[in-house]
Structure 1
Amino acid sequence: MQDNGFRAGPADAKSVRRWRRRLADEHEEAKVYRELAARRSGEEREILLGLAEAEERHAAYWEELLGDEVGPKRRGQFRMRLLVFLARRFGSVFVLALAQRAESRTPYRSDRDAPPAMAADERIHEEVVRALAARGRARVSGTFRAAVFGANDGLVSNLALVLGVIGGNVPTSTVLLIGLAGLLAGALSMGAGEYISVRSQRELLAAAAPNPEARAVLPYLDVDANELALVYRARGMSADEAQRRADALLRDPKPLVSPEKPADDHEIVGTGTKAALSSFVFFASGALVPVLPFVFGLTGGLAALIAVVLVGLALMLTGAAVGVLSGAAPLPRALRQLAIGAGAAAVTYLLGLIFGATAG
């Protein structure tokens, strides 16, 4: 690695231990990218292999710095080994999101023995991984959104329903019946609503897309007097840029493409069937959680307490998953999800108590 005149500090025992950790972590990071590359093809594979080579370049720096003190090969930190395991087994967008977060927490900005160029490399690596993760997020966003919303709605709405009914002092059998009815009704409603929503959005996107048949009229346009430039101005270009694009198109006719519309809008939205199925399944799964204690014969306050605990854990899990996928810290998202769900359930329970007392 080019060090631009940078020199590391003296090789005392503490520094040697730190350098060995850095070396092991760099090898683990390189493994992560190679494992991810093994599950990709084309450009994404080349980019990931390029990142792996960069990490090996960093490892070479620490090896050179250690010299005779390099010692036996060591394993990296647990979180890096876990990333390697996940990349080998799954290779999903979640692994890329975790890798993005790992790159953002590079210790090189405060490590006096790491060249400034190495710290700069890691910042660029974060942006590369962010861009790769964005591609993956775009591919799964439609179905994932439906799954997360479905699971959260199922957890919160059915817990609120169950607690509200319990607050009204109804028999356990009635609580179970209402909980299962809420599960089925909510899952069907969510699935149908998601299907209509996605289908409508795809139809709106299709309506906004340029008509490919417009290309056929290009040879017949009057070169000196036509409205082709207005097409580009209507789609957001400045007057000068629109005129240049129109003139170039008349010289070399190509399909009219919106300058603002991404090519994968439909992929980001997803399909109506997948979104509906995902929403149905995850709503039902979430709505089943608060009913489980009653399914297994528990009653009263104990059943309600277990339902609340189970739902709380499930809400934190979905919140953490959203945090991981977005490349952010999972714990704050998990706690936010828990707070929102607990608030909604508490309000419904209080209303059940009020109306139950009134009815009594």
Structure 2
Amino acid sequence: MKKQKSQRPRVRTSEIIRDVVIGMSDGLTVPFALAAGLSGTVSTTLLVVIAGIAEIAAGAIAMGLGGFLAIRTDHEYFVAQESEQRREISDIPYSQRDRVVSLVEGWGISPEDAQAVATDICSDPQRCLNFIMKYDLQLQQPHPNRALQSSLTIGTSYIVGGLVPLAPYMLITQSQSALLVSVLVTLLALFIFGWVKGAVTGVTVLKSAAQTTMVGGTAAGIAFLAAKLIA
């Protein structure tokens, strides 16, 4: 009999893409809206740059910490469920076997074959546990480094995205001119980002690009108008 190899959790590409999307989309939108709003109240760009850098730093830390805590929560939930299922397999094995039978029958397998499959699976408590965790509870063990990786990916993506709308204010001293360049550059970046996101996720690229651009542009427009009304 072949010895069953333990399956080490792996970081899926989709998880990394999700983190990049979360960080980049917020990084492009929030500093963009802040800079646009401030540019309506000041004549020079120094204040915009200072506030923008502070927001990018705070936003990257907050977003990264949020990603870290989310993954840690998922890990703690997985461990708690795994411990509970392991206890049930030890204390009430027949109940867990019936659980496996019901799952297998739900896939269209005959009751007789489902009984045989369940008997084979439940002959090994660890295999039974893995089966229930994956197919019944639909839980997968997070990679041990996933929390740190997620926080770094989200935070870095936020910084990269945030520097795009802020860059014109670093190069141009007149706030209204910098605003115009920032709007054009950021809308272009939002469009490209949405296009790439659509291509990666399988969504219609033009639709994804248009939605991403519209959300970012709307956020900046609202912030700019609010600043104008308050000033």
2:172 aligns with one of 292, 297, 303: 297
**Correspondence 1:228 to 2:93:** yes
Structure showing greater radius of gyration is: 1
Alignment: residue pair count: 209
What letter corresponds to residue 260 of structure 1 in structure 2?
D
Residues 142, 270 of structure 1: 8 Å contact kept: no
Match of 2:155 in 1: 280
Consecutive unaligned residues of structure 1, counting only runs of 5 or more, are 1-137, 222-226
Query: Alpha-carbon deviation of 1:204?
Result: 1.4
- Decide whether aligned partners of structure 1 residues 206 and 173 sit closer, same or farther in structure 2, where only a CA change above 3 A counts: same
Q: Secondary structure in 2 aligned to 1:266? A: coil
What letter corresponds to residue 320 of structure 1 in structure 2?
W
Query: Alpha-carbon deviation of 1:199?
Result: 1.3
The 2-side partners of 1:146 and 1:231 are apart by 36
Match of 2:6 in 1: none
**Correspondence 1:244 to 2:109:** no
Match of 2:66 in 1: 193
Give the structure-2-normalised TM-score: 0.77
- Decide whether aligned partners of structure 1 residues 239 and 173 sit closer, same or farther in structure 2, where only a CA change above 3 A counts: closer
Residues 97, 118 of structure 2: 8 Å contact kept: no
The residue correspondences of 1:171-182 to structure 2 (distance < 5 A) are 171-182=44-55
Match of 1:161 in 2: 34
- Deviation by residue 1:249-292 (Cα, 9 ceiling, x = unmatched): 5983442231335575525x970111100111110011111110
Match of 1:208 in 2: 81
- Deviation by residue 1:50-79 (Cα, 9 ceiling, x = unmatched): xxxxxxxxxxxxxxxxxxxxxxxxxxxxxx
Give the structure-1-normalised TM-score: 0.51
The 2-side partners of 1:251 and 1:322 are apart by 42
Once the two structures are overlaid, the 10-residue window that deviates more, 159-168 or 149-158, is 159-168
The 2-side partners of 1:253 and 1:162 are apart by 60
Query: Alpha-carbon deviation of 1:142?
Result: 1.8
Q: What RMSD in Å do the two structures reach over aligned CA positions?
A: 3.3
- Deviation by residue 1:167-196 (Cα, 9 ceiling, x = unmatched): 223642111111111111111111111111
The residue correspondences of 1:265-276 to structure 2 (distance < 5 A) are 266=142, 271-276=146-151
What letter corresponds to residue 93 of structure 2 in structure 1?
L
2:19 aligns with one of 138, 146, 164: 146
Residues 289, 311 of structure 1: 8 Å contact kept: yes
Residues 229, 246 of structure 1: 8 Å contact kept: no
2:190 aligns with one of 306, 309, 315: 315
2:200 aligns with one of 316, 319, 325: 325
- Decide whether aligned partners of structure 1 residues 182 and 253 sit closer, same or farther in structure 2, where only a CA change above 3 A counts: closer
- Decide whether aligned partners of structure 1 residues 291 and 236 sit closer, same or farther in structure 2, where only a CA change above 3 A counts: farther
Choose between structure 1 and 2 for higher RCO, CA contacts under 8 A separated by at least 6 residues: 2
What letter corresponds to residue 139 of structure 1 in structure 2?
R
What letter corresponds to residue 231 of structure 1 in structure 2?
Q
The 2-side partners of 1:319 and 1:202 are apart by 30
Residues 229, 245 of structure 1: 8 Å contact kept: no
The residue correspondences of 1:1-360 to structure 2 (distance < 5 A) are 139-169=12-42, 171-209=44-82, 217=90, 227-231=92-96, 237=102, 244=115, 248=119, 252-255=123-126, 256=128, 257-258=131-132, 259-261=135-137, 264=140, 266=142, 271-356=146-231
Query: Alpha-carbon deviation of 1:247?
Result: 6.9
Query: Alpha-carbon deviation of 1:293?
Result: 0.9
Match of 2:108 in 1: none
Once the two structures are overlaid, the 10-residue window that deviates more, 168-177 or 270-279, is 168-177
Consecutive unaligned residues of structure 2, counting only runs of 5 or more, are 1-10, 106-110
Residues 168, 352 of structure 1: 8 Å contact kept: yes
